[in-house]
């Protein structure tokens, strides 16, 4: 059980790094989508 916990904790490090990067990318995509939406609405009017 100690080995299993050690492996699980070791695997959490890359998971947290990837989760952080995904959250950052999601924020960038949402910002770009909002900018595009505003631009298209201005063009429409």
For 16-41, the pLDDT digits (tens) are 999 999 999 999 999 999 999 999 99
Specify the pLDDT at position 45: 78
Size of the chain in residues? 45
Q: Which residue has the tokens 């699980």?
A: 8
**Which tokens belong to 41?**
């609405």
pTM for the model = 0.69
DSSP state of 23: H
Q: Tell me how many domains the chain contains.
A: 1
User: What is the residue range of 32's domain?
Assistant: 1-45
The distance of Cα 2 from the centroid of its chain, to the nearest Å, equals 32
Tell me the torsion sign for CA atoms 22, 28, 43, 45.
positive
């Amino acid at each position: 059980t100690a080995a299993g916990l050690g492996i699980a904790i070791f695997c959490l490090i890359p998971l947290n790094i990837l989760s952080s990067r995904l959250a950052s990318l999601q924020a960038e995509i949402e910002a770009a989508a909002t900018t595009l939406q505003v631009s298209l609405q201005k063009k429409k009017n």
